[in-house]
Amino acid sequence: MDPGGILKAFPKRRKIHASPSSKALVKKPKQEGGEEAGEWLSSLRAHVVPSGIGRARAELFEKQITQYGGQICAAQAPGVTHIVVDEGMDCERVLRLLRLPQLPQGAQLVKSTWLSLCLQEKRLVDTAGFNIYIPNSRYLDQPQLSKADQDSSVPPGAQEAVLRTALSPPRPPTRPVSPPWRTEEAPSTQAQPDCDDETSDGEETQVSAADLEALISGHCSPSLEGDAEPIPAPKGLDKWVCAQPSSQKAVNYNPHITEKLEVLAKAYSVQGDKWRALGYAKAINALKSFHKPVTSYQEAFSIPGIGKRMAEKIVEILESGHLRKLDHISESVPVLELFSNIWGAGTKTAQMWYQQGFRTLEDIRDQASLTSQQAIGLKHYEDFLERIPREEATEIEQTVREAAQAFSPGLLCVACGSYRRGKASCGDVDVLLTHPDGRSHQGIFNPLLDSLRRQGFLTDDLVSQEENGQQQKYLGVCQLPGPGRRHRRLDIIIVPYSEFACALLYFTGSAHFNRSMRALAKTKGMSLSEHALSTSVVRDTHGLKVGPGRVLPTPTEKDVFRLLGLPYREPAERDW
């Protein structure tokens, strides 16, 4: 959980403002029936904030506004009537994004759903229910025109066009940010008002929430078109997690601070307060990567990813050796953590059980209504929490390999995850199966599972078969023969050979390394998943693909790195 800052994942496009001669300012002829074509938005002077909405959709909004008689202007332009923003925004976030201290008098902050409804109904809909509250302190005083302005002989239309040009916000300078392994940004949806990170620019990105943590500041490459040749990576490639060996992780010079913050982060996480949890995780990783012990408020506040209130907490720890917030952690936290460690029970389920009065695993076992997966998770609670030694993971991989190759001798069988990254232990074992001929992997999924069950190796099925495109995945529980052997979590994934390299990369991880690679792919107009690396990908306003693009050939993991313009990293170098 530690990205490095924010990088817009799509290339910037220069906005062309309306000129006095533009069609946006020209009255359209009336349609038959008396309705004026293109004039029903004539009273609208709008600014569209693309963050959260998505740049492509924002530009479409702007085009439609001008098409129907409205005008696009800068957010701080006198006379702006509506500032259109994503539904998750609040006034403070909008001001940070616009880099403005206040908004012009009369401007309304409206949700993009209001504009969508207007365009759908071809009329100006009442903004009631779509407004975002603006405190009076966030409005500029009414501007007074100078005598020269009042006497200006410039035609009104031209005057407005000049205003739009002159008042357009300059392109902001690149803000120095820490490397992507230092900090973590919360997703670009509605922030909680008490979030400890007050300096986050996370809202400026237009990629999905899951990828925000991997992004950094830098140059955005245009979309990849055509050839499958390596494309130069964005400037600052050396700051991307996926470009760095994990051996370069910084030494933590501030463990006395991070240990206390980690307790709070965990508490917020199990209580379902993901925003505070992410804010703390971001600060923790920033501190872990700082090049020296923090000694003052000014020094803490200067670290990218640490806001004013977080810096105050750091100073409290420095001065007293303690953090008062730790004294007020709810008594529910250890119980929620206990419950959320049951396989198949997430934070919401744990909270529900707590609200029902359950306090122990015995309460859950005796009184709770459990799914079949939760019952298995409870039955093997202690075993699942116990890390799997590397030697035992090797035995598990070998057992699956021998059973699989009994059906087809040429099958490839690779244990992925932290095992493949060279760790001494792992939480579960992911075994990936394929066949180089592209055919012989088909039809072995169920026979393989039946064979392993007959051996007594598979003891419980969590998910018997999870279809994922052409991939098949089994989630279950295994136990090696012999006294005292623990029950272990095992996933078996069968993939076509054409997807093997991307699947191997994905299931090897780490999760943060993967997020970094996916985010980098987005900056190139590409898409990386466990199935394929694709180019010429078009995404919707939420950063989701609206078309599959064109799949690039990736026979090996090295090809994926090469096509992304990255140096190849061995599995052991991906342990971020």
Confidence of residue 183 (pLDDT cuts 50, 70, 90): very low
Percent of the chain whose predicted confidence (pLDDT) is above 90: 49
C-beta atoms surrounding 260 within 10 Å: 20
Which helix (H) or strand (E) segment is 415 a member of? strand 412-415
pLDDT at 141: 55
In contact, 62 and 35? CB cutoff 8 Å: no
Residue 162, pLDDT score: 28
Q: Are 240 and 516 in contact (CB under 8 A)?
A: yes
Whether residue 143 contacts residue 78, with contact meaning beta carbons closer than 8 Å, is answered with yes
Backbone angles phi, psi at 521, to 5 degrees: -60, -40
DSSP structural state of residue 108: E
The answer to whether 299 touches 322, Cβ cutoff 8 Å, is no
In this structure, of 153-162, 306-315, 489-498, the range with the lowest mean pLDDT score is 153-162
For 416-438, the three-class secondary structure string (H helix, E strand, C coil) is: CHHHHCCCCEECCEEEEEECCCC
DSSP element (H, E) containing 388:
strand 388-389
Query: What is the residue type of 138?
Result: R
Q: Count CB neighbours of 369 within 10 A.
A: 8
Band (517; pLDDT cuts 50, 70, 90): very high
The predicted model gives 364-373 an average pLDDT of 95
Measured CA to CA, the distance from residue 236 to residue 423 in angstroms comes to: 29
Per-residue pLDDT at 13 exceeds 50: no
Predicted confidence at residue 197, as pLDDT, reads 34
Please give the average per-residue pLDDT across 333-345, as a whole number: 95
Please give the Cα distance from 44 to 71 (Å, whole number).
Answer: 6
Q: What is the pLDDT of residue 274?
A: 84
Of 260, 282, 313, 522, which one is the catalytic site residue?
313
Examine residue 22 and say whether the peptide bond preceding it is cis (omega within 30 degrees of 0). no
Calpha distance 545→533 (Å, rounded): 13
Q: Is 313 a catalytic residue?
A: yes
Residue 194 binned pLDDT confidence (cut-offs 50, 70, 90) = very low
Q: Summarize pLDDT for 430-478 with one digit per residue, the tens.
A: 999 999 999 999 999 999 999 999 999 999 999 877 666 789 999 999 9
Please give the pLDDT value at position 173.
Answer: 33
pLDDT digits (tens, 9 = 90+) for 116-175: 888 888 888 877 767 888 877 777 754 443 333 333 333 344 333 323 322 233 333 333
Tens digit of each residue's pLDDT (9 = 90 or more) over 41-98: 888 999 999 988 888 888 888 988 988 889 999 988 888 999 999 887 888 888 888 9
Judged against a pLDDT cut of 70, whether residue 407 lies above it is answered with yes
Please state whether the predicted TM-score (pTM) of the whole model is above 0.85. Answer: no
* Residue burial 381-405, b: 16+ Cβ < 10 Å; e: rest: beebeeebeeebbebbbebbbebbe
State the pLDDT confidence band at 236, using cuts at 50, 70 and 90.
low
d(C-alpha 90, C-alpha 112), whole Å: 13
Average pLDDT over residues 475-498: 96
Please give the structure tokens belonging to residue 74: 């800068």
Return the closest-CA partner of residue 520 out of 7, 1, 146, 103. Answer: 7
User: Both tokens of residue 172?
Assistant: 């902001």
What is the distance between the alpha carbons of residues 20 and 71, in angstroms, rounded to a whole number? 11
How would residue 235 be classed by pLDDT, with cut points 50, 70 and 90?
low
Question: What are the backbone angles phi and psi of residue 327, rounded to the nearest 5°?
Answer: -75, -10
Mean pLDDT of all residues belonging to the chain: 78
Residue 205 near residue 88, CB atoms below 8 Å: no
Backbone Cα Rg of the chain: 28
For residue 526, how many other CB atoms are within 10 A of its CB? 23
Residues 6+ apart with CB under 8 A from 483: none
User: Where does the pLDDT of residue 38 fall: very low under 50, low under 70, confident under 90, or very high at 90 and above?
Assistant: low
* Cross-strand bridge partners of residue 41: none
In whole angstroms, how far apart are CA 269 and each of 119, 348, 351? Answer: 40, 11, 12
DSSP letter at 460 equals: E
